């Protein structure tokens, strides 16, 4: 008994020591890996703000280049770790190998930080993907050079190591500023039993501004950002707050709180991440009182996607809305701010409604938006400069009344930009206005008389007019021939450093002069990113020609039917189809009066250096002279194989005649076969061939065999169905080009989702092979 009593103080002392060790272990950095990317190999330091020990990343990766952000961005840096970085101009995929001491089965907070700071002097914000091992983590997209990005995940390790990989997706060089691992204990975040947790936000309420709370206040080094909610009152206590629960938040965070400013108002906090879209769509339905059958999830299940909605599906993410068509839905009022939540939207059609007010600037911040149609509304004021800038760069197809793709000179419809104050001064200005009107009439008469005397009347002078001798110099005396047609010959030329194509009228062409006038006048009056642009014209006595932008990759037919050309993949074919459809849709629905092309075919679809497609050759185009006219009677024109048989038989020209021709273009894109195939002594149109193959029910029998089955079957089937609908015998059964654009975009989205999934799977396979190679199974 005495012996036992002698051990009691020793046991108590030992217990106190063990308790002290455990407490200390929870507050030390034994479960941390803290990497400052880009500092000198072998170096380390203790951060003077957080007291966290950081080491060089050289021992974790064997590729990349080290850089420093520019000094001008020093004032934007919150942390020392954002000063340096490692970039990866080589290799598609570069991976850090991290081996925490505790390893497999343990739960970790993993954080990666990125600060561009124009380190490469290019001033071009990169975009790239980040993977955790074989699994897609996120895509890095910067808002500015000075704004850092932090991404964080809570993850249970399935082995004694993990990889953080940066993947080049062709949109800029990947880089990283810091990587941090923090061991979590106990039952914290046990939701990871069902998958990793991606951080949306971690906020401390009741603080409008201030520093981010992290280690040592939070022993797990979580980042708590200050956040002030409107119409609330902040609360604070100086007492220590007991925060013992499964999430173990620091006392400094829990000492602040908020309460509603008014006692009769509830506290509603909406932290919608913007990637799930049910709330955004319900907001639209409520704002505009839509009667659509919008119930449940907009994107799931796929068979019941909401009307007018297109989604992209990926195994590693929730479905995202990428297309929203609210055209002709009777929308009133302004553009709802809920649209800002659709951060992945690519196509947004708000045309032909009664929308008013200003076009909001938040549309410029939708980074993936490629097609925005605002036509047929009553907006006031200018289009936001951000949208016009994107349109002028070619990254956005922007349609609005009065202009096309972003000419800032007149961004409003004819009467929509009037200052509301005008109504107050109408009476005093009547006399002045009358005088001005008389003067204007006189000036117009004088101008008309002058124009009739000018050589080559009928062409406006908004574009530069060239003499024949100037055209000779531009083409180096017509040295390089790009192509020939019924109209004449197309030559390569240069105006300064700009390459151009010069189409000269053939003297033997009976209809040439008429076609020349038609094409030149049309190109002078329409502007669209998917129509070839007019550079100038020549109307010098017997020499007539049109100078337009040079399309480096020639025409579509060459790439589909010429065996010497590289094979266009399915995604690129769909993108080209979408581009051409947009151009045709603009002629039909964006021009007043509407214009029918009359010669839509593959060799009238030209491709620039980026394989962006543009409609060309408007010599046969016809405008409907008055609103409401359903057709015009005219002589038949077009190309065999693409020519609408209804138009050929009745001489009745409608927009659906172009739709038929475009359907043939789609069939050529799909099959890689010409519009007409000669078999024995018979000429078989492509729609007959496809119709025969449809009966077999095998999409691989229809799609170009050169693709070797590398396409999404659903996307291909839908494209075939769309093409066959376009070539329906009865024009009324054919879709409009607006409907064609929507359907084609949907096909493209489906194919891109497959490509991304395939890329993710391939990356995972590569990662698996890499891990097996470095960690062989013991024998």
Q: What is the DSSP string of 526-537?
A: ---TTBPPEEEE
3-state secondary structure of 708: coil
Query: 502-540: per-residue pLDDT in tens?
Result: 988 877 654 566 667 766 776 766 778 898 888 888 887
Same domain, residue pair 544 and 580: no
Backbone angles phi, psi at 73, to 5 degrees: -95, 10
Of residues 448 and 207, more confidently modeled? 207
Same domain, residue pair 47 and 92: yes
229: in domain? no
pLDDT for residue 623 = 72
Question: Where does 26-79 show beta strands of DSSP type E?
Answer: 32-36, 44-46, 53-56, 65-68
599, 644, 712, 746: the active-site residue: 599
Q: Picking from 72-81, 150-159, 169-178, 634-643, which range would have the lowest pLDDT averaged per residue? A: 72-81
Query: 311-330: per-residue pLDDT in tens?
Result: 876 544 467 788 898 888 88
Same domain, residue pair 47 and 133: yes
271: in domain? no
492: in domain? yes
Given 487, 515, 549, the domain boundary residue is 549
Same domain, residue pair 83 and 145: yes
Alpha carbon 348 to chain centroid, angstroms: 11
Same domain, residue pair 652 and 591: yes
Instruction: Band the pLDDT of 380: cuts 50, 70, 90.
Output: confident
User: Which H or E element spans position 311?
Assistant: strand 309-312
286-290, 301-305, 604-608 — most confident range: 604-608
Instruction: Band the pLDDT of 6: cuts 50, 70, 90.
Output: very low
Alpha carbon 225 to chain centroid, angstroms: 30
Same domain, residue pair 474 and 336: no
Given 158, 178, 199, the domain boundary residue is 199
User: Which H or E element spans position 19?
Assistant: helix 2-27
Does the pLDDT value for residue 117 go beyond 60?
yes
Question: Peptide bond before 301: cis, by omega within 30 degrees of 0?
Answer: yes
Question: Considering its fold, how many domains does the chain have in total?
Answer: 4
Does the pLDDT value for residue 659 go beyond 60?
yes
* Backbone region of residue 228 per phi and psi (left: phi > 0; alpha: psi in -120 to 50; beta: other values): beta
Nearest Cα to Cα of residue 704 among 692, 690, 718, 714 = 690
Task: Give the CATH number for residue 598.
Answer: 1.10.510.10
Nearest Cα to Cα of residue 113 among 137, 140, 143, 76 = 140
State the residue range of the domain holding 370.
278-420
Instruction: Band the pLDDT of 386: cuts 50, 70, 90.
Output: confident
Given 388, 420, 452, the domain boundary residue is 420
Query: 474-488: per-residue pLDDT in tens?
Result: 999 999 998 877 677
687: buried, middle or exposed (CB in 10 Å: 19+, 13-18, 0-12)?
Answer: buried
Query: 583-599: per-residue pLDDT in tens?
Result: 999 888 877 778 888 88
21: in domain? no
pLDDT for residue 100 = 93
Distance CA 693, CA 688 (A): 9
Query: 486-497: per-residue pLDDT in tens?
Result: 677 899 999 988
455: in domain? no
Tokens of 268: 């509603």
Residue located via tokens 């008055």: 626
680: in domain? yes
Same domain, residue pair 41 and 142: yes
Task: Give the CATH number for residue 33.
Answer: 2.60.120.260
User: Which H or E element spans position 256?
Assistant: strand 256-260
Question: Taking the model in full, what pTM does it have?
Answer: 0.45
Same domain, residue pair 472 and 411: no
81-90, 131-140, 290-299 — most confident range: 81-90
Contact 730, 721 (CB under 8 A): no
Distance CA 774, CA 17 (A): 41
Same domain, residue pair 568 and 509: no
Same domain, residue pair 190 and 327: no
pLDDT for residue 25 = 40
Task: Give the CATH number for residue 525.
Answer: 3.30.200.20
Contact 669, 576 (CB under 8 A): yes
Section 73-86 average pLDDT: 80
Section 545-554 average pLDDT: 89
Same domain, residue pair 535 and 566: no
433: in domain? no
Same domain, residue pair 306 and 395: yes
Query: Mean pLDDT, the chain, as a whole number?
Result: 78
Section 259-271 average pLDDT: 69
Section 153-172 average pLDDT: 91
Altogether, the residues listed in the chain come to a count of 779
413-421: long-range contacts at Cβ-Cβ below 8 A with a sequence spacing of 24 or more?
A: 413/378, 413/379, 416/378, 416/379, 416/380, 417/380, 417/381, 417/382, 418/380
pLDDT for residue 195 = 67
Does the pLDDT value for residue 459 go beyond 50?
no
Q: Residue 383 carries which DSSP code?
A: P
Query: 416-426: per-residue pLDDT in tens?
Result: 333 333 333 33
* CB-CB neighbours of 321 under 10 Å: 26
Does the pLDDT value for residue 148 go beyond 80?
yes
Distance CA 238, CA 69 (A): 40
* CB-CB neighbours of 245 under 10 Å: 9
Of residues 410 and 96, more confidently modeled? 96
Nearest Cα to Cα of residue 390 among 410, 361, 414 = 361
Does the pLDDT value for residue 733 go beyond 70?
yes
pLDDT for residue 403 = 43
Task: Give the CATH number for residue 289.
Answer: 3.80.10.10
pLDDT for residue 8 = 34
Instruction: Band the pLDDT of 766: cuts 50, 70, 90.
Output: very low
* Catalytic-residue membership of 599: yes
Distance CA 604, CA 623 (A): 19
678: in domain? yes
């Amino acid at each position: 008994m005495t012996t036992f009593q002698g051990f009691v103080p020793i046991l108590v002392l030992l217990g106190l020591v063990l308790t002290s060790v455990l407490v200390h272990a929870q507050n030390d950095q034994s479960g941390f890996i803290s990497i400052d990317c880009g500092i000198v190999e072998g170096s380390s330091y203790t951060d003077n703000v957080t007291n966290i020990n950081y080491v060089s990343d050289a021992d974790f990766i064997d590729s990349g280049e080290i850089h420093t952000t520019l000094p001008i961005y020093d004032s934007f840096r919150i942390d020392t770790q954002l000063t340096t970085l490692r970039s990866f101009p080589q290799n598609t995929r570069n991976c850090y190998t991290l081996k925490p001491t505790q390893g497999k089965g343990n739960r970790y907070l993993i954080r990666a930080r990125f600060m561009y700071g124009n380190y490469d002097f290019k001033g071009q914000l990169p975009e790239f993907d980040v993977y955790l091992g074989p699994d897609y983590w996120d895509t890095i997209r910067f808002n500015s050079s000075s704004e850092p990005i932090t991404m964080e995940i809570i993850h249970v390790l399935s082995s004694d190591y993990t990889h953080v990989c940066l993947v080049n997706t062709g949109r800029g060089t990947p880089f990283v500023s810091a990587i941090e691992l923090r061991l979590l204990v106990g039952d914290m975040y046990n939701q990871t039993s069902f998958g990793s947790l991606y951080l949306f936000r971690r906020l401390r309420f009741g603080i409008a501004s201030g520093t981010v709370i992290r280690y040592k206040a939070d022993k797990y080094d979580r980042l708590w950002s200050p956040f002030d909610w409107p119409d609330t009152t902040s609360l604070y206590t100086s007492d220590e707050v007991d925060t013992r629960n499964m999430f173990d938040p620091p006392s400094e965070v829990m000492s602040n709180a908020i309460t509603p400013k008014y006692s009769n108002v509830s506290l509603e906090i909406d932290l919608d991440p913007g990637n799930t879209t049910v709330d955004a769509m319900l907001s639209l339905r409520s704002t505009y009182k839509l009667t659509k059958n919008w119930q449940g999830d907009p994107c799931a299940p796929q068979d019941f996607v909401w009307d007018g909605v297109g989604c992209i599906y990926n195994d590693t993410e929730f479905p995202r809305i990428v297309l929203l068509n609210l055209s002709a839905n009777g929308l009133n009022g302004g553009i709802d701010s809920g649209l800002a939540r659709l951060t992945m939207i690519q196509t947004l059609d708000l045309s032909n409604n009664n929308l008013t007010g200003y076009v909001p600037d938040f549309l410029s911040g939708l980074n993936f938006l490629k097609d925005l149609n605002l036509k047929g509304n009553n907006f006031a004021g200018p289009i936001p400069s951000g949208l016009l800038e994107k349109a002028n760069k070619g990254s956005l197809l922007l349609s609005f009344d009065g202009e096309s793709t972003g000419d800032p000179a007149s961004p409003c419809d004819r009467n929509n930009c009037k200052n509301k104050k005008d109504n107050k001064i109408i009476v005093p200005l009547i006399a002045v206005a009358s005088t001005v009107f008389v003067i204007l009439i006189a000036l117009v008469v004088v101008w008309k008389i002058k124009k009739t005397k000018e050589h080559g009347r009928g062409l406006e002078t908004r574009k530069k007019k060239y003499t024949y001798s100037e055209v000779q110099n531009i083409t180096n005396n017509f040295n390089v021939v790009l192509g020939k047609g019924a109209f004449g010959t197309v030559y390569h030329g240069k105006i300064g450093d700009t390459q151009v194509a010069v189409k000269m009228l053939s003297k033997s062409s009976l209809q040439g002069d008429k076609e020349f006038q038609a094409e030149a006048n049309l190109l002078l009056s329409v502007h669209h990113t998917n129509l070839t642009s007019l550079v100038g014209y020549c109307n010098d006595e017997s020499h007539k020609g049109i100078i337009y932008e040079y399309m480096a990759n020639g025409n579509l037919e060459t790439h589909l039917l010429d065996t010497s050309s590289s094979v266009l993949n399915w995604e690129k074919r769909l993108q080209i189809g979408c581009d051409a459809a947009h151009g045709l849709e603009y002629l039909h629905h964006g021009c007043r009066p509407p214009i029918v092309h009359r010669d839509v075919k593959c060799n009238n679809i030209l491709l620039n250096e980026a394989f962006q497609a543009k409609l060309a050759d408007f010599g046969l185009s016809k405008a409907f002279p008055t609103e409401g006219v359903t057709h015009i009677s005219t002589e038949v024109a077009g190309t065999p194989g693409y020519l609408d048989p209804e138009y050929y038989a009745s001489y009745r020209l409608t927009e659906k005649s172009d739709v038929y021709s475009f359907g043939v273009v789609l069939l050529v894109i799909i099959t890689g076969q010409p519009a007409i195939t000669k078999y024995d002594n018979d000429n078989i149109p492509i729609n007959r061939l496809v119709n025969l193959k449809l009966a077999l029910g095998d999409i691989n029998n229809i799609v170009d065999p050169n693709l070797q089955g590398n396409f999404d079957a659903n996307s291909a089937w839908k494209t075939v169905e769309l093409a066959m609908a376009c070539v329906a015998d009865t024009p009324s059964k054919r879709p409009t080009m607006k409907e064609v654009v929507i359907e084609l975009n949907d096909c493209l989205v489906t194919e891109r989702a497959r490509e991304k999934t395939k890329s993710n799977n391939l990356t995972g396979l590569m990662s698996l092979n890499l891990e097996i190679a470095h960690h062989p199974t013991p024998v």
